[in-house]
Amino acid sequence: MKRALSLDVLRGLSIFGMVLSGTIPFGGALPSWMYHAQCPPPSHAFNPQVAGITWVDLVLPVFIFCMGAAIPLALTKKLENGEGDLNLAKSMVSRFFFLVFFAIYIAHILPHAIGEGLLSFDLLGQQIQGYDLQWLTLIGFALMFPMFRMIKDQKRKRIWRVIGWGGALGLLLVFRLVYGQEFSLHRSNIIILLLANVYLLGAIGWYFTRHSWLARFALFVFWGVVQLCCKYTGFDAVIDGFQPTSWFFLFRMSHYMLLIIPATVVGDLLVDRLKSSADNQKHSGTSHWKHLFFVGVLLLVVWLTTALYQRWMVAVFTVTPIAVGGLYLLVKKHLPQYMVLFTIAAYLIVIGLILEPVEGGIKKDHATASYMLLTSGMALCLLLFFDYVVDHWKESGLVKLLAGAGCNPLMAYVVTTWFMFPFLHVTFLFGIYELLYPFGFPWVGFYRAFALVIGAMSLVYWMAKKKIIWRV
């Protein structure tokens, strides 16, 4: 089955946003809309009373949406290749645990997580503390290639996996014996652990409801009820407090099922579209109306993000239904091939708005139902927009860059923190990087971070071009 290029591009953009949001200057250097709404500057202390979202609060749900839409694409391919139920179950569970161990591994190989450094240098006034720790992180990053690189030849794959995982175990042993690191299954990267949990629940849910959207809707309602019960009973906290399982499964992450289930429905539609020869004609229609619709869905996302952040609630409840209704009439008359997809987005946005005041306003933390539904609808709008972008600028450098990161998400996620920063330290280029953020010029610091992440994504794109892809 062909890849859904627009899905790769959107996934690549979400990863870019995730990495950039963690790299930009903090401490109140930039406006509050450049950070998580519930972690406002200058202290960035978590404040659950703050309602609203920023662009930073969109990047994770967009990525989860892309993962959910990809579930039917990947599992349908396995079913069409003749894999039975047992093999499919083994595939889902193994991917889940590989993601869990990936989350644990990358959390342990960060320089500050290894221990006290043994080597420090001072070059031309630039002090590098823990120089050896930076090298160890780079070694840990390099070991991820034999651990996760896609290799078709099964014999070669087994050899490289033994080298990779054996080297990783040896490295962690060095951390313990030389640096005194306390290894813990409960120390993991929370984002990857979240993705692992949501993937497993989403894949199981899709498998048992793949022949019936009605059953999928019933599953959606079930998880909605579960979220409501957890909110008022604390049931999820009780389960998450059980130490023997909390290192790999956190029940509170199941709340994201309200986001991923609609995404699997979109994935089913993408499967049908990729199989259809009519897909080649998907952009038929009057040209100017087509441009207006796709620009409109992008502006709808921008409007919702801005208005919800600024808390322009009267305008939100007035303008948004008019905008959604206008786009609905536009797609119905001029782009009927997008009718079902936009209808799903419209329902998610409208229902999300209705629920927005119920839990004290939309919030990422702790995630509200309106957050799940609205961001899911907004992610679908972005997917529609990038379908248009891919159709017109498929060969552009930006599309290729984002698609390269999107088809290689594991590498794209870690390359900045686990490779670029340690590389800058061991080569003593970090001093130059620091100079690119002069005091009193926070936006220069932003552009510095932007350039660094672009460089990281370019490296991932080059790797994807060379067929060096990581998979779990």
Count each helix (H run) and each strand (E run) in the chain, helices first: 20, 2
Q: What is the pLDDT of residues 359-404, one digit of tens each?
A: 899 999 889 999 999 999 999 999 999 999 998 898 899 999 999 9
Specify the pTM: 0.94
Comparing CA positions, the residue from 77, 59, 406, 72 lying closest to residue 265 is 72
Whether 216 and 261 have beta carbons less than 8 Å apart is answered as yes
14: pLDDT confidence band, cut at 50, 70 and 90?
very high
What DSSP line would sit under 413-424, residue for residue?
HHHIIIIIHHHH
Q: Which whole number is the average pLDDT over 140-151?
A: 97
Q: What is the pLDDT of residues 60-113, one digit of tens each?
A: 999 999 999 999 999 999 999 888 889 999 999 999 999 999 999 999 999 999
Helices (H), 109-189: 111-114, 131-148, 154-179
The residues with which 470 forms a beta bridge, in sequence order, are 149
Furthest CA-CA distance within the chain: 68
End-to-end CA distance of the chain: 19
User: What is d(CA 167, CA 152) in angstroms, rounded to the nearest whole number?
Assistant: 21
Q: What is the pLDDT of residues 279-329, one digit of tens each?
A: 454 444 557 888 999 999 999 999 999 999 999 999 999 999 999 999 999
277: pLDDT confidence band, cut at 50, 70 and 90?
low
Comparing CA positions, the residue from 412, 427, 371 lying closest to residue 192 is 412
Identify the H or E element spanning 128: strand 126-128
Q: Which whole number is the average pLDDT over 340-346?
A: 97
What DSSP line would sit under 82-127, residue for residue?
T--HHHHHHHHHHHHHHHHHHHHHHHHSSHHHH---S--EEETTEE
What DSSP line would sit under 358-375, residue for residue?
TTTS--TTTTPHHHHHHH
Please check the confidence at residue 1 and state whether its pLDDT lies above 70.
no
User: What is d(CA 304, CA 317) in angstroms, rounded to the nearest whole number?
Assistant: 10
124: pLDDT confidence band, cut at 50, 70 and 90?
low
125: pLDDT confidence band, cut at 50, 70 and 90?
low
Beta-carbon count within 10 A of 170 CB: 12
Fill in the amino acid letter for 358.
V
Whether 339 and 331 have beta carbons less than 8 Å apart is answered as yes
Residues 6+ apart with CB under 8 A from 301: 58, 378, 381, 382, 385
* Per-residue confidence (pLDDT) for residue 232, from 0 to 100: 84
Residues 6+ apart with CB under 8 A from 261: 68, 202, 205, 216, 219, 220, 223
Residue with tokens 């894999």: 83
Share of residues in the chain with pLDDT > 70 (%): 96
Q: What is the pLDDT of residues 409-427, one digit of tens each?
A: 999 999 999 999 999 999 9
Q: Which whole number is the average pLDDT over 256-260?
A: 96
